[in-house]
A and B are shown apart, each in its own frame.
Chain A
Amino acid sequence: MKLTRNLAAAAYGVAAAAALGTLLSACGDFLKRDPVGVIGGEQLNTPTNVDGMVVSAYAALGNDHWITPYTSMWPYGDVRSGDAYKGGGGTGDLNDYNNLEQFVFTTPTTGVLDQMWFRLYVGVGRANDALRRLNEMTEAEYPARTTRQAEVRFIRGHFYFLLKTMYNRVPWIDETLPVTDYERTSNVALTNDALWQKIADDFQFAAANLPATQAQEGRVTKYAALAYLAKVQLYRAYVQNDQHTVTSVDQSKLQQVVQLADSVIGSGKYGLTADFAENFLWETEKNREAVFKINMSLADGTPNGRVDMGNGLNYSMAPGYGCCWFHIPSQNLINAFRTDAAGLPQFTTFNQMSLVDSADYWTSSVDPRVDHTVGIVSHPFKYDATFVFQPTWARTPQVYGTHSSMKELQHPKCSCLMAVGPFWASSKDIEAIRYADVLLWKAEALIELGRQNDALPIVNEVRARAASSTARLKYANGTPVSNYNVKPYTAASWTQEYARQALRWERRLEFAMEGSRFFDLVRWGVAAQTLNDYFAVEKTRHDYLRNAQFTAGRDEYLPIPQPQISFTQGLYQQNPGY
């Protein structure tokens, strides 16, 4: 009995050992579970897939969102400039943007700033990933290699330009730098000018290697690169010291700006649209004024379209929209559209009277661009006489008044408009560089070069187009909405000083609410004075601005996000004042 038991035990033991052994040897395979539905990095080095990586870099151009808007830049370029209030459901609604508006509470730990920094480097990273693969290929394997390299460097240059103008001291990471060195690369490794040069190099390479036209209209061209390079050189021309004070203006850079702008202008491919409105309507988005455009789309198989979510908060409470009424033109900006009897801006007195009621637009004469830019109570909205702006379209009138922005919004009936959750966005392409920009950069360079007389016809060309852009600004009965009066400047009083003032005014009106104003002010070195003058008056109109104050030497640039300083163990240096 005992023997049989022991035998049985032994038998079981042997069987169990055999089973264990089998399992052990099989374990290697049993525990090998390769991922599904994904691929490794090396599998991408084929012409088709590298082409996909280039598309992926393009895709980054439009991947922004109202948390990190970098196609429209409204919180960074307008809300910080005195052109716009934050808007929304109150000052606490997206408080980080309220802090940007008031320049008081923004800190290195402000959340949206870190997100923005990250998203911009996502764009840089995608470009670097594509470039690394392109560099490995031969022209024979992939005939489009050089063109694609140029496109990708354009995209990288674009993201660096945004980083540079927002944060100033940013680390330069390109495709040659090993990933292991990323955390060892400081944001002050390059001097201010060396960093600008890197950005310029990208556009220079792009300009040299891109074709004048591309078969696919979404790809960047030689002239887009030349225009962008002009923009870069114009920003560089205003030399800043470490306190962000403009100490000199580099004449040779200005010369380059003129030459670069002339190449674009001379190409004959571009011009101002007949009506200012064509730049802000989906129906006319393919127009000759768009030099560099970021494409949007919908009904494209993605969950809610590749629409311009950077503007997703900016639609008003109007029937047909419903949310969220951010990006509200300031009273100061609206007043800037007032013109005198000569049809010229009122440089010194513009803000002494406010355009409030509909009647005010007849007591004063105004630049027609105000009705292309601002939603005004009882004025037709978005060129539709039956779609009249109501006070109820404003969400928190007690804080921010009753206007709304207009340029970036599309009409509720536009097939380009879609609801994304509670938000609204359209497939209207973003015109990142308009021909008007190229013209005014050139004019600005000429004025700073002392060639203001050469600039005069350029400024007047822009004004003339504004003056003639009234056809869509009519009530149902055909009468004009406001008393429009815009005239060209005359040579008589066109001194350099006057021309500079006129140019800067013109930029404000032409590009109002398009996200560039703050960067213009910093470039010119006038941000502190302009904003503190603005707050002095505007706080009497809007109590919430009572503590707002711009600190010179600090607020020209955003703080370097604290998490990024932490990742580098303090290698990144904080911007002054934070």
Chain B
Amino acid sequence: MSARRDHLTNHPRDGAMGAMRRMTPMLLLCSTALLTPGSALVAALAVAAAGAPAALQAQEAQQARQTQHRVTGKVTHAVTGLPLEGVTVRVQGSSPAATAVTNTEGSYTILAPSLTDTLVFTRIGIVRQVVAIGGRDRLDVALQPAAVSLSTVAVVGYQTVATEKLTGAVTVANVNEITATPTNSPIKALQGRVAGLSVTAGGDPGSTATVRIRGTKTLGNNDPLYVIDGIPSTSSAAQQIKTEDIQSLQVLKDAASSSIYGSRASNGVIVITTKPGAGQPVKITVGSHLTTSAYATRLQVLNTEERGRALWQAAINDGVDPTNLPIYKYDWTRNPNGTATLNRVIVPEFVGDTSLHIGAANTDWYNEITRPGRIQEHTLSASTSGDRGGALLSLGMYDDQGTVNGTEFRRLNGRINSSYNFFSKRFTVGENLAITHGSGIPMPSGLGGNPLALGLIAQPILPVRTRDGAWAGPSGAGFDDRDNPVMLIDINSWDRNTSLQSFGNLFAKYDVTSHLQANARFGVDYENGLNRDIQRRYRAGFLRRDVNSLNDFNYDNSSWTFNSTLNYAREMGRHSATLLGGFEAVKSDFSNQRTYREGFAIESRDFFVENAGTGLQAVGGDRGGYSLASFFGKADYDYDDKYLATFTLRRDGSSRFGQNNRYGTFPAVSGGWRLSKEPFFPSQYLISDLKLRYGWGKTGNQEIANNAAFALYVPGYGDDKTWGPSNASAYDINGQDRGTLPSGFIRTQTANPDLRWEATTESNAGLDFGLFGDKVTGSLDYFNRTTSDILIRPAYIAVVGNGGDRWANGATMKTSGTELTARYEHTAGALTLGFAGNASAFRDRITGLPAAVVRSYPGNGEQTILGHSVNSIFGYVVQGIFQDAAEVSAAAAQPGKAVGRLRYRDLNGDGKIDVLDQRWLGTTSPKLEYGLAPGASYKAFSLSVFLQGVSGRSVYNGIKSQTDFTSIFTGANFGTRVLDAWTPQNRGSTIPALSLSNTNDETRSSTYFVENGSYLKLREVVLGYTIPAHALPRSMSALDGSRLFVRGGNLFTLKSSGTTLPDPEVPFAAYPLPRTFTVGLDLAF
């Protein structure tokens, strides 16, 4: 008897009680109906009932001599709200240890030496929690599930399922790990935290992350589906959720798990559940996090004198008289043997025409456009729950003043989640509603790019302002048409994008019988936004804009979703089964209007309204939408918790497809085997848990234009001709030169009534394990996926002319990969050590393309993209630099070959360098991505570290054409690398000789530009201090989560020594990922 009890305590998951606890909420409600005399279940219950008091008695006896304070309470699961059994409760620092274990009701009683003591709650699969008793004699806690665990629950596919019963590849993210991260998007903070989830984001305030689950699957949209509180939604809604409001977040990676979401699930699914009301009587939390940020890396560019020197060298190399160079003058000599020597670069007093008063300067443009950034986050929530329901009110404010001048993003979040119970909790109705207001100044874009790009390429000789205080700009010979980046920021500072998003749902659930539950949800996602673009007049050097204008873009996106499910669950002896059936309807609409006005007499922010303009006016607008209707069913069966099986079927209809193929069917089947439960399984401690999983499923993708199936003509009066040819249909046939023109129609698309779903089939084999009594837990997955009928809008033969665009089901891609997740936790006295790690490796390749479009991808006639990753780089191989004339003449025929120039390898050995001398140079998708999170806590202190990295990734570093060459963008600034370029005196250099003209076509795709993009980053270090209850006033008894922390973000990067990239993660002139320091205070009472 006693041995059995110990076993229960050590491995609470095993045995009949475990089966009870693992049942879905609905199953528990009906558990009494299963209790037939003589069943194993009853026996186990009796054991448990007897066990708890027995333990308590022993404890009492042992500690009778001391002064004891009895503390009781109830422990519940924070996600499900169900009682948590088998939680070990320990008085911190007590010796001998005072411990207790919760019973089936989740209740515990413990005798603590003092009411100022602190209790520690631990259980496998649950985040360890430390709570000060704070003078109370009753302490109820809700515990969070750990991210990787075999014994928690996951919200997947319209159901809550115990993760140990899962047969697909699902990862429950540990949301607690990311609450210290200063970010506008909870998804961004997950970078590197979940195996198989790739998150990439720049440092731009307000920008959202790009999310890929298991790499690239299709040639079109690769964004996963987000399901928020049971409502399928968009990335935009998900990335606006306040991290603190998230109860649980799970990533459904394989088709077997996600196919219940059918038509939109092929890129994986991220299921987010927001917090319900919890806390008695009322739990209040307040938090403030303050962050400073600064750019961590930058490209090194030349100063005024250095740029003059580089140009001089280029002219000398070319045999061009440097006197002909614009901007600079030189004091130089040529000795009798022909060697030229530069004595001094003479910088003129003025740049360009002296009448412009642009005094020559030595401007560090990057410094001029950057600043220390600052992020503030403030949160406040009130939460309550009771027998008749619960409510949560949560408010948040996020304000990011980015490291680039003028960029900012502010957001206000409000959320009300509430639920009401009737008929002894058999009927529940409620709502989750989030309202978000976002407001930001978008990064402006001008001639030559955004201020960041311009900050690197603007010539240092230009000052920010002229001697008269006006904006300086490119002037005269030797300059490109590039905007002054400081000016660009200033004249766009009145631009603003604002949006108001309401996302929420009403839900009802009814326990029809003890086995049958009905659910219904109606969700609404509505976003209204205004992008306001004010173009002010300016004059800077030879650049100018004489007409100011206002461009307002107003948009409405709305969609509603209705879904309803019936769940049926039954246990018969060792057999247990659940059935789910349901339907879902989605209707999504968008509309937008653009208004444009020119000619505003006064340039002040508030004067820019349409009515105040006197010049040209124009309007535009569009609307459209799509609908989806779906039916789905799912059956789960398990025998004795050992053999698990799941079947899913979904049928989806979409308005986006041709009428001949409107519906698609998406089946899935998966199974699991818990080896560790077999009698023959040897050790219960060394390998404490082992489950094998296999799943196969099919999912769909409908991410194409709403009108994709139709033949379309549009009245295309006129269009913007700035950057490309026009498709206008208006012509000045009356020769009036202005006024309204006669116009016609243009074909824009060819019909395809046979357009159908893009389908992904995926098989996944997995292994979940627990070692050393579940001290180490983890899982290993291998998947193999084929996406076929990929929706493409291929390039088409030119003779078709306008409107040859036609959506078609064309390509095939295959992806396979492996993921490993592991977690370790060890407690020794007051010290707890933990480690979480994950790694994933994928390989994707295109295996099929219509013959006519293969050549639209890299390749050269002999070689095609087929069999290679869609992210592959193709090009020439650089074989060093020609050192002398003999080498040049001996080499293969290469137009433009000369001493000091790049030498390309004659790959096919035919004696000439041409398109056939190219090969595959690498891929921009990493071979391996990983995250490592060691952590430790000691008493009230905790330290967590997070490292993230990618390896086996190539980057096409196109910016080298600016940093390494003076011949490509001659009017821009160059990188400091040009100072080390090849000369007869510097033969060791790998940078080709400077020149004023690119006679060797060195910008061609080649190994010269392909760099190792691997990196390992110290993403964050957080040092936390849990605030003890006695440090707070009595009335503010700290519940949990009261803490003070400091955090450093993006602290250190390891990269390949061969790479010239300042930060391989954001290779180009993208918004740099800042280094951040955060101080945060969170109080809960």
Contact = CB atoms under 8 A, between A and B. Distances in A.
B722 to A, nearest CB: 4
B965 to A, nearest CB: 8
Contacts of A422: 447, 481, 543
Given A55-B742, A91-B998, A397 B324 contact: yes
A217 B998 contact: no
B799 A547 contact: no
A277 interface: no
B contacts with A: majority SS: loop
A67 to B, nearest CB: 6
Interface size class of B (residues with CB under 8 A): 35 or more
Contacts of A396: 326, 477-478, 970-971
B320 A398 contact: yes
A301 B510 CA distance: 60
Contact of B713 (A39, A95, A183, A312): A39
B738 A298 contact: yes
Interface string B617-644: 0100011111111010000000000000
Nearest to A68: B725
| Of A32, A323, A422, A563, most B-chain CB atoms within 10 Å | A422
A183 B325 CA distance: 52
Contact of A105 (B618, B714, B719, B895): B895
Interface string B352-378: 110000000000000000000000000
A98 to B, nearest CB: 8
A322 B480 CA distance: 9
B685 interface: no
B544 A322 contact: yes
B64 interface: no
A40 B747 CA distance: 9
A521 B322 CA distance: 36
B349 interface: no
Contacts of A31: 627-629, 653-655, 662
Contact of A27 (B546, B629, B656, B852): B629
A145 to B, nearest CB: 16
A89 B447 CA distance: 14
Contact of B478 (A395, A420, A569): A395
Interface string B832-855: 000000000000000000011111
A58 B731 contact: yes
B882 to A, nearest CB: 14
B476 interface: yes
Contact of A219 (B311, B733, B969): B733
Given A37-B622, A396-B970, A105 B516 contact: no
A55 B320 contact: no
| Of A129, A396, A398, most B-chain CB atoms within 10 Å | A398
Interface string A258-297: 0000000000000000000000000000100000000111
Interface stretch (B281-289, B704-712, B920-928): B704-712
Given A5-B514, A65-B725, A90-B971, A302 B733 contact: no
Contacts of A185: 799
Contacts of A492: none
Given A90-B968, A392-B476, A399 B729 contact: no
A295 B739 CA distance: 13
A304 B722 contact: yes
Contacts of B713: 38-41, 43-44
Interface string B869-885: 00000000000000000
B740 A33 contact: no
A12 interface: yes
A455 interface: no
Given A300-B741, A301-B717, A395 B730 contact: no
B996 interface: yes
Interface stretch (A117-125, A359-367, A466-474): A117-125
A31 B652 CA distance: 11
Given A68-B725, A564-B797, A295 B735 contact: yes
Interface string B990-1002: 0000001111010
Interface string A555-577: 00000011110111100000000
A55 B732 contact: no
A52 interface: yes
A218 B745 contact: no
B730 A419 contact: no
A56 B744 contact: yes
A419 B997 contact: no
Interface residues of A, number: 132
B989 to A, nearest CB: 20
Interface stretch (A15-23, A192-200, A222-230, A432-440): A15-23
Contacts of B852: 183, 566-569
A478 interface: no
A63 B353 contact: no
Contacts, number: 384
B986 to A, nearest CB: 21
Given A58-B733, A89-B480, A302-B719, A107 B915 contact: yes
A300 B748 CA distance: 23
A62 interface: yes
Given A61-B731, A65-B726, A124-B801, A322 B478 contact: no
A300 B738 contact: yes
Contact of A40 (B318, B479, B710, B733): B710
Interface string B909-942: 0000001000000000000000000000000000
| Of A54, A55, A99, A393, most B-chain CB atoms within 10 Å | A55
A104 interface: yes
A239 interface: no
B736 interface: yes
A178 B915 CA distance: 35
Contacts of B726: 62-65, 306, 309
Contact of B730 (A6, A302, A324): A302
A216 interface: yes
Contacts of A564: 797-798
Contacts of A241: none
B1078 interface: no
B178 to A, nearest CB: 39
A170 to B, nearest CB: 9
Contacts of B542: 317-319, 321-323
Interface in B690-706: 706
A562 B325 CA distance: 39
A423 interface: yes
Contact of A56 (B324, B583, B729, B800): B729
Given A33-B656, A59-B729, A301-B730, 20 more contacts: A9-B513, A12-B566, A30-B655, A37-B623, A49-B745, A59-B731, A129-B801, A185-B799, A217-B734, A218-B735, A296-B737, A299-B738, A305-B721, A306-B726, A306-B730, A317-B477, A319-B353, A323-B481, A398-B311, A427-B738
23 contacts: A5-B514, A8-B513, A33-B624, A44-B745, A55-B731, A55-B733, A56-B731, A61-B731, A67-B725, A92-B961, A122-B802, A125-B800, A296-B732, A299-B738, A300-B718, A319-B353, A323-B543, A324-B481, A398-B970, A421-B723, A427-B737, A564-B798, A566-B852
In the complex, the 4 A-B pairs of residues with the closest C-beta atoms, listed nearest first: A125-B801, A302-B718, A392-B476, A56-B744
Interface of A: 5-6, 8-9, 12-13, 16, 19-20, 23, 27, 30-33, 35-41, 43-44, 49, 51-59, 61-65, 67-68, 89-93, 95, 98-99, 102, 104-105, 107, 109, 114-115, 117-119, 121-126, 128-129, 171, 173, 179, 182-183, 185, 216-219, 286, 295-307, 309, 312, 317-319, 321-324, 390-399, 402, 416, 419-423, 425, 427, 429, 543-544, 546-547, 561-564, 566-569
Interface of B: 311, 315, 318-320, 324-326, 352-353, 447, 474-481, 510, 512-514, 516, 518, 542-546, 564, 566, 583, 585, 587, 616, 618, 622-629, 631, 653-656, 662, 706-707, 710-715, 717-748, 795-803, 851-856, 861, 895-896, 915, 961, 965, 967-971, 996-999, 1001, 1003
